Amino acid sequence: MSEPILPLDQIIRGDCVEVMNRLPAGSVDLVFADPPYNLQLQQDLRRPDQSQVDAVDDEWDKFADFATYDRFTKSWLTACRRVLKDNGSLWVIGSYHNIFRVGAILQDLGFWILNDIVWRKSNPMPNFRGRRFTNAHETLIWCAKDRGKRYTFNYDAMKALNEDLQMRSDWLLPLCTGAERLKSNGKKAHPTQKPEALLYRVVLAATRLGDVVLDPFFGTGTTGAVAKRLNRRYIGIEQSDEYAGHAEKRLAAIRPSSEDALAVTPSKRAEPRIPFGLIIERGFITPGEFLFDHQRRHHAKVRADGSLVADGVSGSIHRVAAHMQGAQAFNGWQFWHFEEKASRALISIDVLRQRLRTEIV
């Protein structure tokens, strides 16, 4: 029997579990899921002027009880786990109505939670009855397929996106409004359409160019729209013909950017590891030479095996640098400099490491 073909850049109509069970196992790099929240609405929501709030009262969000919802959640998460690559990751978004139940089931199935991200809405809907705090956030859970599995995280790209500050786990972003909100006959085409800015962070953080992104609750196609803009491949699963139709029109109008425009800041952890001993082997620095800190207050002799010796202490460039600073640990690549013979200027040994990385890559 031939292996099923991966339906890239397509929207498949049908039940997400049935569709995923027909896909090849271990074929998807990222799953983003925006499942029904099980809001348990018992009556219409109304504003103080008695006008009706456009809330989620669709059949797809109605479950008989928590046990029914839990069985549904376990079923689709199990299917996601089967199609996810070993080095892939899964994101799921929810509210207080469902996210804690989803999180427990994720752990029961063997997923390893990496972060919970709080999407803090800059323009949340107020609490009209005044009996609770305004629900101003939703929660995303990000997890690897198993504990210890490698996964993609473009840390430096997220830092660059955040003006060179480490990206935090609370994201302040507006709701989907204005021109981005899809309409049908003057009304919202989908009650819970997510903003593209939210998916932009998820996809940019956890995938590489050409990766396959699966959304089992595709709706009007926000995940696919962002994936296409960022030159990722997408697979959407949607059981509503109406929502799928809106998504198809939306995706047809998108043109992906050029690959050079989509290049992101590379992660230092992804760069090839260069041991200091390789610097010695290549003859850039010879045994017996001295290395200095940038002010020449400290110096250490280089030995043939790539270790340093100074003040009666020997060891790696990092261990000896830490000793000189009276610190528990220190980055020797940043601390040590070699003396250029012609000018006697001090040059960081990290320059030599970067030169070798360029050759290797």
pLDDT digit of tens for each residue in the chain (361 aa)?
Answer: 556 789 999 999 999 999 999 999 999 999 999 999 887 654 444 444 544 445 556 675 678 889 999 999 999 999 999 999 999 999 999 999 999 999 999 999 999 999 999 999 988 878 767 788 998 999 999 999 999 989 999 999 999 888 888 999 999 998 888 888 888 888 888 888 899 999 999 999 999 999 999 999 999 999 999 999 999 999 999 999 999 999 999 999 998 877 767 767 666 666 677 889 889 988 899 999 999 999 999 999 999 989 999 988 999 999 999 999 999 899 999 999 999 988 889 999 999 988 888 776 5
For position 198, what pLDDT does the model report? 94
For position 266, what pLDDT does the model report? 65
User: What is the rounded end-to-end Cα distance, in angstroms, of the chain?
Assistant: 40
For position 356, what pLDDT does the model report? 84
Q: Residue for token digits 């752990």?
A: 107
| Strand blocks (E) in 165-310 | 170-173, 183-184, 187-188, 212-215, 233-238, 290-292, 299-302, 308-310
Best CA proximity match to 166, nearest among 193, 140, 205, 132: 205
CA–CA gap between residue 341 and residue 338 (Å, rounded): 9
Which residue(s) pair with 311 in the sheet?
Answer: none
For position 58, what pLDDT does the model report? 66
Element (H, E) at 158: helix 155-161
Do 35 and 217 form a contact (C-beta atoms < 8 A)? yes
Would you give the DSSP letter of residue 152?
-
For position 47, what pLDDT does the model report? 42
Best CA proximity match to 333, nearest among 351, 346, 345, 359: 351
Do 33 and 235 form a contact (C-beta atoms < 8 A)? no
Helix axes 196-206, 222-229, angle to 10 degrees: 50
Which residue(s) pair with 356 in the sheet?
Answer: none
Would you give the DSSP letter of residue 265?
P
